[in-house]
Structure 1
Amino acid sequence: MALNISMERLQQDLDKYAEFGRDANGGMTRPSFCPADFEVREIFVRQLEAMGLTVTIDGAANIWGTLKGNGQKQGALVIGSHLDTVPNGGKYDGALGVLLAKEIIRTIMDHKVSLDHDLEIVSFTAEEPNDFNLSTMGSRCFTGKLSPDHLKEVTDSQGYRLAEAFLQAGGGLDKFPEMKTLQKDKKAYIELHIEQGKRLAANNMPVASVDKIVGIYRDKITVIGEANHSGTTMMEHRCDALTAAAELILMAENAARNDEGDTVCTVGKLDVIPNAANIIPGKVEFILEVRGETREDIRRVVAAIKQAWKNVESKRQIQIKEQNILDQAPVRLDEEVVALIEQAASDRNAPFLRLASMAGHDASHMADICKAAMIFVKSPNGKSHCPEEYSTWEDIEIAGNVMLDAVLKADRHLG
């Protein structure tokens, strides 16, 4: 007889966690290391301990809970996602993947299912872009892509040191060497996430298997002009950093629009200095992001953008400085685990698609150390990173039970 998750428990969990970081605009604002994040971390750890799981917090403050298997097979199956949010985001992005993973473990425990592997749940730190300019931070740290030497001097915009944030959350740079040991027993990672787009909705499908994740490239661009009085400085005498930045941003948009691929370009973070109504902006910082299914797609668009920018400095008498802060390669996920997910969907008579993820996820880094795959739940309105983000309970239940079955299949079939 097929097992089924408890939607009542899952709904209660989602509603409870959504109380932390609720903002005045109706969304969730819970970046890693904010007060609401620390509250949620404490609740999550207490719940895992109450379930009888062994809880570990690693150097990057990722939270792990382990359900021991019967010892017949070596290695651990890992399920989870992240609990942080973007500013004014929704309650499903990340949290659904973590809380559904917890519900899957509770269902397995309720039915006294003996697993051949250990089963672990993880909540990764700082998956979302944040004030430290390090997205998918926790999974990148865990898989060895961010070292203590790289991180020890990192601060946020207020001068708060990342090293201190790790310590406050139960981690610490001195615990990073332990993560290399913890890596070794990870056999497979499955992450469930809302789709955040309209492809499933357009095809009236509740669920998708995900076999690849696009690459993400980000540059921090600094435009240096000359601050001056907004009234006494004539137009021909201005070196306005903001109008120059606006031109650069439009050029970047045009380069992506004119490219033949499905590559996308975004500037979503902009800091204007000194940011006063009566001062011509003297400096602007913004993040240029390009995403594509192949490195060649990304590099082609980035090159087109930089070529378009070449004459702006002399024309506007400003200076452009570029600093790469992320160059994440596209990732192909594990075909065997993807096939197990699709078999689980077929066994449940759940219609499904196979999709590439246009968003970055922790699975892209876990794929470097173990077999990894993802499951998407339909986003009916295609919205995410906003308060309107949602998935129906019906679709969540279908996807959750598909994931439960996929975990059980992985336990049996992965040698």
Structure 2
Amino acid sequence: MKINLDRLLTDIEKYAEYGKNQHGGVTRPSFSEADHSVRKLFINELEEMGLRVTIDGAGNIWGRHYRKGNKEGSIVIGSHLDSVPNGGKFDGPLGVLMAKEIVKTLMESNVTLDHDLEIISFTAEESNDFNLSTFGSRSFVGRLNAEMLKEARNSEGILLSEELEKVGGGLAQFPIMEDMRRDKKAFIELHIEQGQRLEDRDISMAVIDTVVGTYRSIVKVTGESNHSGTTMMDHRKDAFTAAAEMVLEVERYCKQFKDDVVGTVGKVEVFPNAANIIPGQVKFIFEVRGKKEEKLEHAVNRIQEVWQEIADRRQIEFIQEVLLDQKPVVFDKGIVNILQSTASEMNEPCLTLPSMAVHDAAHMASITRAAMVFVKSIGGKSHCPEEYSHPIDIEKAGNLILKGIINLDRHFLD
């Protein structure tokens, strides 16, 4: 039994038409016109399959295939349908459409599962105008509640509560999600890797056992502004050159790790930002991601120690405001083992890797057993029109989840 690859690829191309732009990418943020249209398409297709469709308070779309077996609860598979501006056609939709294809394959093959099988399309996984990424999954697991969101507005002043009602959700329905989540026995999400680890090893897929932790802070470096012509080099307290050295230290330190620690400075502001004034202050956002909590903490601490040495030597000061200190998420070992053993049964090579980005599965892991499968990304491209995964790699990853669900249903879950 295998998924119907041609049918899946046709689905991917069809869905990519919603929000397609003149640059060849897909622009489909949640609550946009394109998002409304693709939601209607998806709901209609789930209903045509005979699934029971439910839209929860966060606008997440659930399609339930009822079991013929005798075990309570459901196995959930899916991802998200929204995109970043000028994004690709695979990030998110591949996981949702693969879930639909897997359910179709099981139905056509008359396979009886002991648990219900559910498809999920989460709302607003990507960054959006409400500044609430992974909104649907965070809301579903209770990390966002109606009280926290009642005044949430986008850049145009439109209330999030109004947008939710337009897609069939609403803050008044949030309490219902608490009852819904007790029913979920397992969650598996398929996603493109968005990196080059699989491509470097020429392996089609990976089982994901961890989502990295993330430390992020705003760093303010303060020196002294002065005239760029009359202030000699030895008399300067240049905040920008000090910040530059600090940024290079992030790169230098994190390069010693192979796959499980990365560091980034992705936003910098220079004050007063004038050609003839020595910069007196710089603000930048510092981020480190790591698979293991102790390595993450050690990296942050060591970088800050060197920063202090730089500050002392250059006679400048720096302070930090922590924006995020999120610990790594460890996925369920039982599901990870089932997927690994299933790959072995298929005689397919399969790596075990951490996810260096946060996905909906990281939040679902707080309420149920969860894991992910990555498929090889060509060139590591993502969030751009060039995003691509070869059909043969997609097929292997889809069949891994298809067969893994059967093994999970029969041999692992109560």
- 2:194 paired residue among 172, 193, 196: 196
Matched, 1:85 2:83: yes
What's the CA shift string for 1:118-154, capped at 9, x where partnerless?
Answer: 1000011122233333322211111111222322233
Cα gap change, 1:43/1:328 in structure 2, threshold over 3 Å: closer, same or farther? Answer: farther
Deviation at 1:164, TM superposition (A): 2.8
Partners of 2:85 and 2:287 in 1: how far apart?
18
Matched, 1:294 2:313: no
Deviation at 1:307, TM superposition (A): 5.8
Tell which deviates more after alignment, 48-57 or 123-132: 123-132
- Match of 1:381, SS? helix
CA RMSD in angstroms, aligned pairs only? 3.6
Q: In 2, are the aligned partners of 1:259 and 1:301 still within 8 Å (CA)?
A: no
Amino acid at match of 2:30: S
Task: State, as a whole percentage, how many aligned pairs show the same letter.
Answer: 54
Tell which deviates more after alignment, 96-105 or 134-143: 134-143
Cα gap change, 1:323/1:171 in structure 2, threshold over 3 Å: closer, same or farther? Answer: farther
Amino acid at match of 1:181: D
Number of residue pairs aligned between Structure 1 and Structure 2: 408
Q: In 2, are the aligned partners of 1:244 and 1:316 still within 8 Å (CA)?
A: no
* Greater C-alpha Rg: 2
- 1:128 paired residue among 123, 126, 129: 126
Tell which deviates more after alignment, 190-199 or 301-310: 301-310
Cα gap change, 1:7/1:284 in structure 2, threshold over 3 Å: closer, same or farther? Answer: farther
Cα gap change, 1:327/1:176 in structure 2, threshold over 3 Å: closer, same or farther? Answer: farther
Q: In 2, are the aligned partners of 1:216 and 1:360 still within 8 Å (CA)?
A: no
Partners of 2:129 and 2:8 in 1: how far apart?
31
Q: In 1, are the aligned partners of 2:222 and 2:316 still within 8 Å (CA)?
A: no
Q: In 1, are the aligned partners of 2:238 and 2:280 still within 8 Å (CA)?
A: yes
Partners of 1:140 and 1:163 in 2: how far apart?
16
Partners of 2:53 and 2:375 in 1: how far apart?
28
Match of 2:321 in 1: 322
Match of 1:109 in 2: 107
Give 1:14-413 correspondences, 5 Å limit: 14-219=12-217, 252-253=250-251, 256-257=254-255, 262-268=260-266, 288-304=286-302, 322=321, 324=323, 326-413=324-411
Cα gap change, 1:203/1:309 in structure 2, threshold over 3 Å: closer, same or farther? Answer: closer
Q: Which runs of 5+ in 1 are unaligned?
A: 226-232
TM-score where L is the length of structure 1: 0.84
Amino acid at match of 2:84: V
What's the CA shift string for 1:166-223, capped at 9, x where partnerless?
Answer: 2232222221111111110100111111122222222222122121111123446789
Deviation at 1:77, TM superposition (A): 0.3
Q: In 2, are the aligned partners of 1:269 and 1:287 still within 8 Å (CA)?
A: yes
Match of 2:234 in 1: none
Deviation at 1:57, TM superposition (A): 1.1
Cα gap change, 1:61/1:216 in structure 2, threshold over 3 Å: closer, same or farther? Answer: farther
Q: In 1, are the aligned partners of 2:221 and 2:316 still within 8 Å (CA)?
A: no
Amino acid at match of 1:69: R
Deviation at 1:337, TM superposition (A): 1.2
TM-score where L is the length of structure 2: 0.84
- Match of 2:378, SS? coil
Partners of 1:210 and 1:163 in 2: how far apart?
34
Match of 1:230 in 2: none
